Amino acid sequence: MTTRIDARFAALKKEGRSAFVTFLMAGDPDPATSLSIIKAMPRCGADVIEIGMPFTDPMADGPAIDGLIIVDLPAEEDAELCVPALKAGLSFIRLATPTTDDRRLSAVLANTSGFVYYVSITGITGAAAADSGVVGEAVARIKRHTDLPVCVGFGIRTPDAARAIAACADGAVVGTALVDALRASLDAEGRATAKTVNAVADLAASLAHGVRDAKQAAE
Task: State pLDDT tens for residues 14-34.
Answer: 999 999 999 999 999 999 999
pLDDT digits (tens, 9 = 90+) for 78-92: 888 888 888 888 888
* Residue 122 and residue 98 in contact, taking contact as beta carbons nearer than 8 Å: yes
- The reported pLDDT for the residue numbered 39 is 97
Among the residue ranges 23-27, 121-125, 174-178, 214-218, the one predicted with the least confidence is 121-125
Q: Which residues contact 56 (CB under 8 A, 6 or more apart)?
A: 66
% of the chain at pLDDT higher than 70? 88
pTM of the predicted structure, to 2 decimals: 0.85
Just list the catalytic residues: 50, 61
- The full 3-state SS of 121-157, as one line of letters, equals CCCCCCCCCCCHHHHHHHHHHHHCCCCCCEEEECCCC
Q: Are strands 19-25 and 171-174 parallel, antiparallel or unpaired?
A: parallel
**159-166 and 196-218 helices, crossing angle to 10°:** 40
Which DSSP symbol is given to 52?
Answer: E
* Residue 146 and residue 109 in contact, taking contact as beta carbons nearer than 8 Å: yes
Average pLDDT of every residue of the chain:
88
Residue 146, pLDDT above cutoff 90: yes
Q: Which fold has domain 4-218?
A: TIM Barrel (3.20.20)
Of the candidates 219, 97, 90, which has an alpha carbon nearest to the alpha carbon of residue 152? 97
Q: Which residues pair with 129 in a beta bridge?
A: none
Kindly list the strands in the beta sheet with 150-153, ordered across the sheet, starting from the edge strand earlier in the chain.
Answer: 67-68, 48-54, 19-25, 171-174, 150-153, 116-119, 95-96
Residue 123, pLDDT above cutoff 70: no
pLDDT bracket for residue 63 (50, 70, 90): low
Residue 68, pLDDT above cutoff 50: no
Cis peptide before 54 (omega within 30 of 0): no
